[in-house]
Amino acid sequence: MRGLCLDFNDPCMKLLTVGTVAFDTVESPYGKVERTVAGSCMYSAWSASFFIQSVGMISIIGDDFPEEELHILEKRGVSTAGIQRIQGAKSFYWHGRYHPDMIHRDSVVTELNVLENFHPQLPDDYTTTPYILLGNLTPTVQQQVIDQLAEHTTRLVVLDTMDYWIKHSLEELQRAIALADVLSINDEEARLLSGERSLVVAAAKILQWGPSYLIIKKGEHGAFLFSSDDIFFVPALPLAVVKDPTGAGDTFAGGFLGYLAATDDTSFNNMKRAMVYGSAMASFVVEEFGLQRLKTLTRDEIQQRVLKFKDLVSFNL
């Protein structure tokens, strides 16, 4: 049985998430937060921690990053041992400004800082983790992580990426995609990557490159899950207020994989449920700036919201 925990004294990791741990300054029509704790790895780890205890983070920070933010996660059962802290260096910093449509945004400042020399090293007890989430990073860095995994224990590798790598590192990206089980991109990226306008045709093409599943995210318009045989769609929940869409995709991915890891079931039917749980998590995170909403969120609220997704699309013939 793959993903089996062999060492009972040291509960093995169930889910590994690799990405940025950063500071964000975010401006939207609803306000502004300065240097709030953020990053793809933070959003996904927070989100996954609502579903399982043994989440491991792989990232890099400077000595400016507040230790207590990692302690809060440790208390939730998240291991931060895989986060390298570089003395005398600064954490990744991004400053973004959303347009009134809350979709388009300008990057005002992007300081890579420690991220410029990020070569993730998996602690030994992380290499047998069954569920792996590779957040948007240089494709070669993503592949470095895959290379360190003990192949026979890996159950599902989810790879996230963005248009920049499609445009500038296509070969490296395609090598990484070939090693992933699930590719997670947005609709414009799917079109760019495949050269196809139709998402059905794009999906069929991309699935031939290796992954068994393709998630196509459409932001406020929902998300598709494609396999070679099946299609599933989950809408985004229509919300009265969206204050900050930053991290919605990572929160979705953390919820999606957290649910799969907790249930340890990668059937298409269970993946459909995971898509709904991921979408529910994303619907919460955008309600407030940064990680704020996740920090007050309860499992009861998640369950209530998942029922709303069910109601939204249910009909009888």
Q: Name which of 150 and 200 has its Cβ closer to its own copies.
A: 200
Q: How many residues bind its own copies (CB under 8 A)?
A: 37
Q: Are 251 and 282 in contact (CB under 8 A)?
A: yes
Q: Name which of 109 and 317 has its Cβ closer to its own copies.
A: 317
Q: CB of 298: closest distance to its own copies in angstroms?
A: 18
**CA atoms within 13 Å, Cβ hemisphere of 268:** 13
Nearest to 96 by CA among 165, 32, 30: 32
Q: Is 87 in the site for its own copies (CB under 8 A)?
A: no
Q: Is 317 in the site for its own copies (CB under 8 A)?
A: yes
Q: CB of 251: closest distance to its own copies in angstroms?
A: 19
Query: What are residue 93's DSSP bridge partners?
Result: 23, 111
The interface mask with its own copies, positions 235-254, x = CB under 8 A, is x--xxxxx------------
Which residues 155-194 are close enough to bind its own copies by CB under 8 A?
none
Q: Are 133 and 113 in contact (CB under 8 A)?
A: no
Q: Is 200 in the site for its own copies (CB under 8 A)?
A: yes
Both tokens of residue 182?
């699930």
Distances 229 to 213, 214, 222 between C-alpha atoms, Å: 10, 12, 20
Q: Select the span of 15-23, 144-152, 282-290, 307-315 touching its own copies (CB under 8 A).
A: 307-315
- Exactly one of 234, 257, 261, 282 binds its own copies (CB under 8 A); which one? 234
DSSP letter, residue 222: -
Q: Name which of 276 and 291 has its Cβ closer to its own copies.
A: 276
Q: Name which of 57 and 302 has its Cβ closer to its own copies.
A: 302
Left if phi > 0, otherwise alpha if psi is -120 to 50, otherwise beta: which for 210? left
Q: Is 104 in the site for its own copies (CB under 8 A)?
A: no
Q: CB of 289: closest distance to its own copies in angstroms?
A: 17
Q: Name which of 29 and 123 has its Cβ closer to its own copies.
A: 29
Q: Is 221 in the site for its own copies (CB under 8 A)?
A: yes
Report phi then psi at 302, rounded to 5.
-60, -45
Residue 166 three-state SS: helix
Q: Name which of 30 and 209 has its Cβ closer to its own copies.
A: 30
Distances 251 to 38, 60, 83, 135, 255 between C-alpha atoms, Å: 11, 19, 19, 11, 6
Cα 46 from Cα 11, distance rounded (Å): 19
The interface mask with its own copies, positions 113-152, x = CB under 8 A, is ----------------------------------------
Q: Is 209 in the site for its own copies (CB under 8 A)?
A: no
DSSP letter, residue 291: T
- Exactly one of 8, 9, 75, 100 binds its own copies (CB under 8 A); which one? 100
Q: Are 20 and 61 in contact (CB under 8 A)?
A: no
